[in-house]
Every structure is written in C-alpha cells, then in structure tokens.
Structure 1
Amino acid sequence: MSLRPISRISRPQEVIDGDGVKIHRVFGHDETSVTDPFLMLDHLENNDPVHFMPGFPWHPHRGIETITYVLDGGVEHQDSLGNRGTLGAGDVQWMTAGSGIIHQEMPHKGSGPIFHGFQLWSNLPAEKKMTDPRYQDIPAGEIPEIIDDDGSKVRLITGKFWGKTGPVSGIATDPRFLDITIPPRTKRRFKVLLDDNAFAYVFSGSGYFKDGSTPFPVQTEYVTEKGVSDTIRSHPVENRNLVLFDRGEEIFVESGDFGLRFLLVSGQPLKEPVAWHGPIVMNTRQELILAFEEYQNGTFLKKKNE
C-alpha cells in the first residue's frame, strides 16, 4: 500500500473577514487545484469576544457548500429560506448554497469567553451549481465517535471509516471529513482513496507525518504490512500546521509527547474551471457576473426547480 508523499506544510494567514472577525485562513483562492474540490478552510479560534462577536452579517452564497464545525461556543444562523437556529459545541452544519441563498452567521461564546470552530468551503460540480439550497444540521450526539484500542478517537462527520458511515449524506464529491485525536507517542496509519485530494490540519498538539517520497534529513523507521523496516522521511508538524498530500493510499502519523488532534479531509477532485469572487463560486466569469447582477437587481434567489 503506497504512502502519500507530502507536497507542502504551511501555516495559516491571519485575516479579517465578515464584520471584523479575526480568522486563521488555512488555505483559499490560490490553492484550488491542489485542494480541489475544497476551496477554503478557516480556523476560528479566539478567546477575545471583540474579535469574533461581530460575526458574519447577511451575505449571499451560490455554487458552493459551506461546512461549519463548532468545537466551543456557538453560532446563531438565519437565512432567506426562513431557517434559523443555533449550532453548539460539537455540532455540524453542512449547507448546500446551490442556486443561491442569503444568510448570516453570528458566533457567540460558550461557558467561557472562547469561540472555536472551523468553516470549510467545498465546490459544487457545474451540473449542481444551480441545485436547490438545503441544510443538514447535525447535532453533536449524532456524529459517530469511534475509539480504538490504543485510545485513538475519530469523529466521523461524512464518508465511511472503520466500518461506520457519517451522518452527512448526498454530497456530490463523496468527501470524507474526520476529526482525529491520537494519544501521546502513538503511531497510526489511515487509508485514503488513491485518487482523492487530501489534507490534514493540526489544531492541537504536535507530531510527525511520514512521507513516502525521497529521503529527508529527519529519518524514522517504518514497519510495512509485510514486516519490512523501511527508512522514510518524517516531517514535524505543530499546532496550526496544514499538511497537503500528493497521491497515495494511506497516511502515516506519529503523535508527539502531548498527543495530536487534526482534521483529515479528502474528496474527489472536480477538475473544473473556477470563477470565484467573494462568497460566490461559478465556472465562468460570465456566470459570476450574472450572479452579482442578480444579487443587485433582486433576482438572486430562485424558486425550487426554477
């Protein structure tokens, strides 16, 4: 089984978005061919309400899906379809914007002054860009949490893993979204479909991701399934490190002295042109211009099956 080479390790950029929210932008815009079908990942982690309470007031989306995963605090959401509600710690919302939706997302603190969560943007294929909008709100208690014998824990949001299936369904790119926690000084391997694009984002602890490509100064011993010991290179990773992988069938990771927690996300690349401005992502510039014209003239929102 082939080990995935590591193409790059990077850190997020701090940006201001929404109405003044301080965000760690893990990737976006310049990464579309590498992370396809995923467009952007934001890590929202702040213990100062001044930097997250302004939130994301009313704004449109078309042509994408947004995945909001709350770890601490909450998000109040409201939209042009009349939906409204609150996401709490551990909850997930998978929103398919499709033909168009206007909504707002307003973070709030939990038991302490902290808000912590993620938002991932996933592209829609051209044939589904104008599909009807829909939501999948998944409470924390419905997300499978799988604990292995060594104490490793996986929260399975979508896709199939270790004989379980995540609660989010009907996603065009058949993605897999995992929240993985590994105890201190533990080695694990995780299978990934060969032709999927995949990335890992570390948000707690540290460790090493092993690389199946050419030798590197940091060496480690890796025991294959046949019991043969191979020397392969090992990349150290810290909190807030993004690891982008090349093609392969599995990743191999070793946690550090304080354990390791990371998102592991993979999906089928669309390999389609991307025309992107702000909250709208289409395939051509003409489609993008039309979307903004419709937003300005009041025809942005479509009736079902229009």
Structure 2
Amino acid sequence: MNIANVLTAYSTQDGDGVNISRIPGFDGKYLDPFLMIDELKSDDESDYIGGFPPHPHRGIETFTYIIKGGFEHKDQMGNKKAIKAGDVQWMSTGKGVMHSEMPLSDTQDGLHGFQIWINMPSAEKMRDPRYQDTTEQPTPAVTNEEGVVFTALAGNWQFENHTLSASLQSLAAEAVLADVTIPQGKCVQLAPLKQKKVMVYVHTGELITTDGQVLVTGKLAILKPGSEINLQAKQHAGVLILAGNPLSQPIAHMGPFVMTTQEELKQAVSDYQSGKFGSI
C-alpha cells in the first residue's frame, strides 16, 4: 500500500455544541472530491445531545453513516427518518436543502457516526436536491473465514470472491465508501480501485502498514493513485475506505455553502436569507 500523505483529525465543535473529530479539505489540496470528514464518537450524551438544529446547505452532498446510536433526520422535502446503527443517509443538496439531525431519544449506549461532505461538479450545484437512505435497503455486508467484515456503504465493491452493490449508487465524483472491521492480526487486501483518490480512515483500533508504519484511530491515509489497499490490524480495527475522482475545480466555501465562485456564494447567502430554501 503506497501512502502519499497521512492527516490527523482534530477536535472541534459543530451544531449545538456537538463535539466531533474533523479532517477538513476545503482548500482542495488533499481530499478532493471530498470536502470534510467529521466523526462523532462518544459515550457521554453531553457531547452530542444538542444535535444539529435546522440549517441550510447548497452545492454539496452529505453522506451520513451511523455505527452506534442514531439521529432523526428532517428536511424541507418532507423526509423524516430515524437513521440508526448500520444505516446510511445521502443528500445531494443541489440548489438548496434545509434539514436537521437530532439524537434519537432512545439512544442509551452513546453515539458513533460520520458525516462526510462530497463536492458537486460546478454544473450540477443548482439542480434539484435528492435524498436517499438505507433504512429499507440495508447495506450489503460479508464476513470471511477470518472474521473480517466488509460492508459496502455506497457504490460497487469486490471483496475476495464477493461482489457487493450498495443501494446508493449515484454519488458525485463517482464516490464510493466502505466500512471494514478487521480482527487483530488479520489482513485485508483489495485490488487498486478505478477512482484516482483513495483514502483510508481508521475509526477504531490500529493498523500497521506493509512498511511497519502504525496508523492509530483518527488517522487518514491518502494513497498514491493506482495503489492496492493492504490493511493489517495491529489491534482490532475499524476502517472507512473512501474513493472518488477529483473535480479539480475552484472551491468557494462559507459555512454550509460550497460553490465555485464568490458570486455564487453571495447568492447562496442571499437566497437563504430571503427564505428560498424553505423551512422544516
């Protein structure tokens, strides 16, 4: 596995005082086409009980994956869903979405999940929004003889002799995502993916690379294009694999809006302030 860069998540807050770990990519330098990786992981409800009250988005896709606990999603399109452990939710916000994500009241054992932002091609940023989740079409998963669990969250994947096709198939920039659980000492090998940007994020335990480098929780390894994926768990590990094709376009970012030019960004703010995003 050929690693080009390793980034480290840092602690911050978002929403109503929610404590998260974040790897930002709004400069387009390392993560393109991804814009941000946020991980929420806590057994203390004070870290997340405030949730994410109603707020707008334009020009991005949000990808939410819950490992433990859950959120209730609401938006101005009329969607109201409980997103629980194992569920994935995707919004292609296009020209505008208003939504909220609040912790489920019956969450007892803490919360662990992700929200990942994917940039949209400039020509698609003003199309109508789209929504999809996996509450009625569970994410496909397979467990091999060594106890490795491979879950296809979005897109198509080949794991050993298994082809897994997630119900989410139309992410921007041909993005695909998977979650892999690896018992201590066991390995996972995948052939090079077709996407030019491939990254591995350690959310649980530790990995050890083929050259002896240790990747601990909160580390993101960005692979060189065309690299195979070779994961060995130093400790029982949970790993997200993210892949997509860089858009290589300018990024104009302000809070929940990501456009291509400053003029488009000013228009997004104006449209929101004038009520064009609707309400929940």
TM-score by length of 1: 0.84
Match of 1:261 among 238, 242, 261: 238
User: What is the Cα deviation at residue 89 of structure 1?
Assistant: 1.0
Which is further off, 7-16 or 94-103?
7-16
User: What is the Cα deviation at residue 207 of structure 1?
Assistant: 2.1
Report the equivalent of 2:201.
201
Report the equivalent of 1:230.
none
SS of residue paired to 2:30: helix
Distance in 2 (CA, whole Å) between partners of 1:187 and 1:244 is: 19
User: What is the Cα deviation at residue 142 of structure 1?
Assistant: 1.7
Which is further off, 188-197 or 57-66?
188-197
Report the equivalent of 1:22.
19
8 Å CA contact retained: 2:82, 2:104: no
Count of residues in Structure 1 that have an aligned counterpart in Structure 2: 274
Distance in 1 (CA, whole Å) between partners of 2:106 and 2:202 is: 23
Give me the CA root mean square deviation: 1.7
Which is further off, 49-58 or 21-30?
21-30
Report the equivalent of 1:273.
250
Q: Tell me which stretches of 4 or more aligned residues in structure 1 moved more than 6 Å.
A: none
8 Å CA contact retained: 2:137, 2:167: no
Is 1:299 the counterpart of 2:270? The answer is no
Give the gaps of 5 or more residues in structure 2. none
Match of 1:11 among 8, 12, 22: 8
Task: Please give the per-residue CA displacement for 1:146-198, whole angstroms capped at 9, x wherever unaligned.
Answer: 12232211110112112221110222321120000112212322223255211
Report the equivalent of 1:286.
263
8 Å CA contact retained: 2:42, 2:111: yes
- The residue identity in structure 1 corresponding to 2:22 is R
Distance 1:251 1:22, change over 3 A: same
Distance in 1 (CA, whole Å) between partners of 2:44 and 2:188 is: 35
Written as runs of structure 1 = structure 2, the 5 A alignment for 1:1-306 is 3=1, 5-30=2-27, 32-108=28-104, 111-139=107-135, 142-162=138-158, 163-210=163-210, 233-256=211-234, 258-300=235-277
- The residue identity in structure 2 corresponding to 1:7 is A
8 Å CA contact retained: 2:96, 2:277: yes
Distance in 1 (CA, whole Å) between partners of 2:75 and 2:115 is: 17
Task: Please give the per-residue CA displacement for 1:66-114, whole angstroms capped at 9, x wherever unaligned.
Answer: 0111111110111112221211111110111111011111123655240
Over the matched positions of the two proteins, sequence identity in percent amounts to 36
Task: Please give the per-residue CA displacement for 1:205-245, whole angstroms capped at 9, x wherever unaligned.
Answer: 112123xxxxxxxxxxxxxxxxxxxxxx3321112221122
User: What is the Cα deviation at residue 299 of structure 1?
Assistant: 2.8
Distance in 2 (CA, whole Å) between partners of 1:43 and 1:155 is: 18
- The residue identity in structure 2 corresponding to 1:62 is R
- The residue identity in structure 2 corresponding to 1:33 is K
- The residue identity in structure 2 corresponding to 1:151 is G
8 Å CA contact retained: 1:73, 1:109: no
User: What is the Cα deviation at residue 253 of structure 1?
Assistant: 1.9
Distance in 1 (CA, whole Å) between partners of 2:8 and 2:172 is: 29
Report the equivalent of 1:304.
none
Task: Please give the per-residue CA displacement for 1:28-66, whole angstroms capped at 9, x wherever unaligned.
Answer: 434x23211100000001111112010111110001010
Distance in 1 (CA, whole Å) between partners of 2:246 and 2:7 is: 21
SS of residue paired to 1:293: helix
8 Å CA contact retained: 2:175, 2:244: yes
Give the gaps of 5 or more residues in structure 1. 211-232, 302-306
